[in-house]
Each structure stands twice: as C-alpha cells, then as structure tokens.
Chains A and B, each alone.
Chain A
C-alpha cells in the first residue's frame, strides 16, 4: 500500500536557525498537503501542492513538490518560537484512492 515517510522525526534548533523536513512517498502522488499540530492541539492545514515541481511560499515557509511527485519538503527560514509543533505531510495517491495518508511527522522544538 501507499506509504509516506517523513524525516527527521525530531529537530531541535536555536531560534533564528533554519529548519527543513522531508517527505517521501512509495508511490506517485496526485497531491500533497502539509499540516501543523501545536502541542496538545489538532492538525491544522497549511498548504496543498498539486503540480510537479511546484514551489509555494507562505512568509518564512517554503514548500516544494518534487518533479516526480513522490517527494516534498517544508523549509522554515529563521525559526521563531511560534513555529514550535509537529509538521506533517499527507499524500493522496492515484487510481481513485480517496485516502489521505500521513507521514510520521517532524517534531520541531526551539531554544529561545
């Protein structure tokens, strides 16, 4: 079945440092989504990528979708304490599959 692997599992940075999390799928995806979950909270949608090679930016966050539509990344520039949380990628596969499969998530902690 479709699997979505995400690395690293944990990342601790100093405030102001950059952060990147990577997502890889065992199958080609129709689209990929990114979510953020604050400690004790629920996942909240950040963005969806659909096109091969797509790059989208949200202020300090940059999202990329690979050319083969099997991998994606989220990069945060100059982290702030408000960026603390777990970041998940979630992929939807082809062949009519209606399932959204999540990666294991990357937990980001920040030293102020």
Chain B
C-alpha cells in the first residue's frame, strides 16, 4: 500500500514549457486535490476532484489544468510554465465526501521555472 505517489520529486522547466505532474493513490479515495506551497503562504488549493470525471477549481487555478479519468490518478498540467509557478506542489487524497476525513499527502514535487 503505497498511499499517495507523486512524480517527479524535482523538476526544472524553462519559461513557456509545459509539463504534467503525476499523482496516484491506491487507497480508493474519492477526493483528490492539488496544493502549492510557497513561503509564508501556506498551502493553497489549485484544483480538486470529488470523484472520477468531476473536477473543480480551488483558490489559485490559473495556469493549471486537471482531469480525473480514473479514481486512482489525478494529474496536474502546467500549460505554459512561468517563474511565478516556482513552488512545491502537493497532491492529497481523502476518503470523505460531505464530512471530510483525513487527507493523505504525497511527498511533493519541487518545481523551479527559470
């Protein structure tokens, strides 16, 4: 039981490049989400999904796309990377709808855009 797996752990992109951050969970959780963490800003919600085929925007969705074709996977796509997207990205999953349950986080992806 691996929990939440994020790849890659580190990534350097040039401005304008696109890439996909991968997130997979093996706990059959319905709820998955992406956060970015910047110094002094805490964890800010980018996008989330309450089940396969359903996604919605969080606090800071601009510049990012998501899809949820399966329960297990929730990739985050950067369409055209900008230096402002330099951050640590965390994927999380949890069981609950309605009443939240514990969120399990991946190890994070440290992204630098130059």
Q: Determine whether A105 belongs to the interface, using a CB cutoff of 8 Å to chain B.
A: yes
Count of interface residues, chain B, beta-carbon cutoff 8 Å: 28
B35 surroundings in chain A (CB, below 8 A): 102
Q: Determine whether B53 belongs to the interface, using a CB cutoff of 8 Å to chain A.
A: no
Determine which of B31, B44, B105 lies in contact with A43 in the assembled complex, contact meaning CB atoms within 8 Å. Answer: B105
Interface of chain A, helix or strand or loop or mixed? strand
Distance A45 CA – B103 CA, assembled complex (angstroms): 7
- Residue in A closest to B107 when the chains form the complex, CB atoms: A42
B31–A98 touching, CB < 8 Å: yes
Q: Chain A: interface residue count, which band?
A: 20 to 34
Distance A71 CA – B109 CA, assembled complex (angstroms): 31
Distance A50 CA – B90 CA, assembled complex (angstroms): 25
With A42-B105, A43-B105 as contacts: A99 and B48 at CB distance below 8 Å: yes
A45 surroundings in chain B (CB, below 8 A): 102-104
A100–B33 touching, CB < 8 Å: yes
Q: Determine whether A31 belongs to the interface, using a CB cutoff of 8 Å to chain B.
A: yes
A contact residues vs B (CB 8 Å cutoff): 1, 6, 9, 30-31, 33, 35, 42-45, 48, 50, 88, 90, 92, 98-105
Supply 15 A–B pairs (Cβ within 8 Å), ascending by A.
Answer: A30-B100, A33-B100, A33-B102, A33-B103, A43-B90, A44-B105, A45-B103, A48-B100, A88-B42, A98-B48, A98-B97, A99-B48, A100-B94, A102-B44, A102-B45
